[in-house]
Structure 1
Amino acid sequence: MDEYVVFCSSEDNVREQMAADTENCVHLSLLARGGETGTRSGLNWGQRNKRNRNEAYIPLPSHIAKSGFFPLDKQHFLVVTDDHHTLQLRVEQQNDKAITTPDSNALLGEYFRNRLGLSNGAYVRKDDLLAYGRTDVTFYKIDEEQYYMDFSVEEK
């Protein structure tokens, strides 16, 4: 009977264990090449005419896309976030440059705007990310289809 009892670590302990596993994690910047948020890309992908203003993607550098860390060919993968949400994501766009929410590209934008304390459809600025406490997101690979996404900040 005892072999069926599972003791769970505290959430902070799990984060520490994952943080120590540098081989199975990647840090992805939410900023564009110029060090600002993209005006019509990344978290602001929907900031164009006739688009849902919440549409967003996480930029994926080509060297990480080619590394095999994430599944390609529009394969879906499941992500559990540090604040206990579950997102279905996939890599897409030309040269596999974006991580998106395939059911609706607005789901990812709504998620980040909520975390940043912004209203739906708001333009995301670098200052919003800095005020929140980080300009990147960390993915930990659990297995080929499951990941943990950390966008947490240190308590002040």
Structure 2
Amino acid sequence: MLYTEDLEELIFHRHEIHESDELIVLSGYLGPSPVARLEQLPFNSTVIYGMYGSEGIKPTLHHSLLRIQNSIDNLNVFYSQLPVHSKCYAWRRRGEIIHALVGSANFSTNGLSTPFREVLAETTYDTFRPLNAYIQHVLNNSISCLEVGNERMVEIEVNLEFCRMTLLGKDGEVQNAAGLNWGQNPNNHTTPNDAYIPIRAEHIRIYPHLFLPKQLNPQNIDKRGRLQRHNDAIEIIWDDGLTMEGLFEGSQPVEGVIYPKQISSFPIKAQLGEYIRNRIGVPLGQPVRRHHLEKYGRTDVTVSLLAEGVYKFDFSV
């Protein structure tokens, strides 16, 4: 059986069909949201970050995974010292694989939530033993996330691309009914704290690796029979350690290619607006103005890519 949609729900409910006592996740890249969700499972889970061996791990992502590791008893997070790009999900009972999925989907919100972009396929019984041996070989060449020091990570994060994304409109003020005040328009189907961060064409031209083109969704067809494009889900780690899921929304053409035009929180649009208001001291439900941001100490957010589909948002002063 081949799966192309709802991959995260597939992984988190597979044990209800196959009686297992352990889940092993081997993934080229990781996102903190699905890793944290493993606490819900009724058995132990082991997660292996595969590309640590060749790329290391950014400090922000490492510290997020470390916080998750220290807060969940039934979880062990490892970093492979071999460069491994595989994506394997194996359910075991008494140490033996009884069911497994392999494919292209990383264990991250971005990898598991966009329909038709990634696939997972069931493996056959004859692959269980060699797959188990392969996973064990990677584990034998892995270290716990608890063992990693800061020396290598600091060097890695210094080389990140940083895009400064303004929270102000073109007139130099926070927009009345867009951006951080998206929910302030009574004619929109929004709540007062709904917010987004605009992506401008110059951001895309200067930082093409941060903002990828939007892909067509074969299941989403408008009234005129045209294919619509995916709103890609991402994971956001803020400078203070808070994590939230986000969405690259909307569409804008840049040099003939369609890109997203804004970043919102997901699935609750107000989460971003509430977070920013709490940080700058504006009461919930009230509009944000330039003087609020200046009093806080900055009028932009710095965005950088930590791993595939995982971003750091820095709003520190």
The alignment's TM-score, normalised by the length of structure 1, stands at 0.83
Superposition deviation, residue 46 in structure 1: 0.5
Superposition deviation, residue 55 in structure 1: 0.6
Superposition deviation, residue 64 in structure 1: 2.6
Contact 1:60 1:97 in 2 (8 A): yes
**What are the superposed Cα offsets for residues 74-121 of structure 1, whole Å, 9 maximum, x if unpaired?**
111111111111111111124222101130211110010011111111
Kindly indicate whether residue 255 of structure 2 is the aligned counterpart of residue 80 of structure 1.
no
Kindly indicate whether residue 247 of structure 2 is the aligned counterpart of residue 90 of structure 1.
yes
Specify the code of the residue in structure 2 equivalent to 1:47: Q
Contact 1:56 1:109 in 2 (8 A): yes
Specify the code of the residue in structure 1 equivalent to 2:178: S
**What are the superposed Cα offsets for residues 101-150 of structure 1, whole Å, 9 maximum, x if unpaired?**
13021111001001111111111000000000000001111122111111
Structure 2 Cα separation of the partners of residues 139 and 33 of structure 1:
20
Of residues 273, 281, 286, the one that matches 1:117 is 281
Contact 2:210 2:304 in 1 (8 A): no
Superposition deviation, residue 17 in structure 1: 6.0
- Aligned residue for 1:4? 143
Aligned to 2:307, the other structure's residue is in SS state coil
Q: Provide runs of 4+ in structure 1 moved above 4 Å.
A: none
- Aligned residue for 2:124? none
- Aligned residue for 1:61? 200
The structure having more radius of gyration, on CA atoms, is 2
Note the residue ranges of structure 1 that are not aligned, 5 or more in a row: none
Note the residue ranges of structure 2 that are not aligned, 5 or more in a row: 1-139, 215-229, 253-259
Of residues 41, 58, 61, the one that matches 2:178 is 41
Q: Which one has a larger percent strand, Structure 1 or Structure 2?
A: 2
Identical-pair percentage: 34
The alignment's TM-score, normalised by the length of structure 2, stands at 0.43
Contact 2:232 2:249 in 1 (8 A): no
Structure 1 Cα separation of the partners of residues 309 and 277 of structure 2:
25
Number of residue-to-residue matches in the alignment: 148
Of residues 96, 100, 114, the one that matches 2:264 is 100
Of residues 149, 153, 156, the one that matches 2:313 is 149
Structure with higher RCO (Cα < 8 A, 6+ apart): 1
